[in-house]
Amino acid sequence: MEEYQAQMKALSEKLLGIMFKSLGLAQDDIKWLHSKTNHHPPQVVLQLNSYPACPDPAHAMGLAPHTDSSLITLLHQSSNATGLQISGDGGNLWIPVNPIPGALTVNVGDLMHIATNGQFKTALHRAVVNRTRHRVSMAYFYGTPQEVKISPPMKLVDVDHPLLYQPVTWKEYLDAKGKYFNRALEFIKCEALFIADRCRQL
């Protein structure tokens, strides 16, 4: 487990570097990502999941629809059964993500959605149980250092892309997610946007 987590950490940091670079961001724009001090290490979680076979999957819940709160999630799923599904239109259409032997699935999380001003969008997904096969998965969640506030760099903000979110730490965001669940991103919208959205709903 320790060796697996070490490799997932290195891979996560490499992938994040590539993703931020693809948006034209330099290391100075995301200094928190490159912090190597013991005072501000990234927060990571390894979650092991077991989904026993169920003869009537319609009456069993694997994992309810949700988005990950992390920057990114690296998922290894057993190759003998499909269970992961991603939403194509906000939860009305579910598309299976079939496992590929030797490959990982990468989910964009809420913090990445915030940090990129919505350019990398968080992925709504769920897990369903299989009728005849036991499924296991290992989800490695890579997040920000505990005290670091995440907000979109100004390089990603212009007339066509207004600033969407207020600065927030992962803990603050988890508190909002615990209260508002999948509406947490709406809760931390910049005040002007939040007010405008509320006015449109009235």
> Is residue 84's pLDDT more than 70?
yes
Position 141 confidence tier, pLDDT thresholds 50, 70, 90: very high
Other beta carbons less than 10 A from residue 48's beta carbon: 9
Position 191 confidence tier, pLDDT thresholds 50, 70, 90: low
Query: Helix (H, G, I), strand (E, B), or coil: what is residue 101?
Result: coil
Position 112 confidence tier, pLDDT thresholds 50, 70, 90: very high
198 is catalytic: no
Q: What pLDDT score does 33 carry?
A: 74
**pLDDT per position as a tens digit, 15-71:** 999 999 999 998 888 877 765 555 678 899 999 999 999 998 888 888 999 999 999
Percent over 70 (pLDDT), the chain:
90
User: Taking residues 74-91, what's their average pLDDT?
Assistant: 87
160 contacts 103 by C-beta, under 8 angstroms: no
> Is residue 153's pLDDT more than 60?
yes
State how far the alpha carbon of 117 is from the alpha carbons of 145, 154, 162, 164, 189, in Å: 19, 9, 8, 6, 10
Q: What pLDDT score does 21 carry?
A: 94
**pLDDT per position as a tens digit, 122-136:** 999 999 998 899 999
Backbone angles phi, psi at 154, to 5 degrees: -65, -20
pLDDT higher at 158 or 47: 47
Q: How far apart are CA 149 and CA 177, in angstroms?
A: 16
> pTM (2 decimals)?
0.88
Q: Which of 126, 135, 183, 200 is catalytic?
A: 135
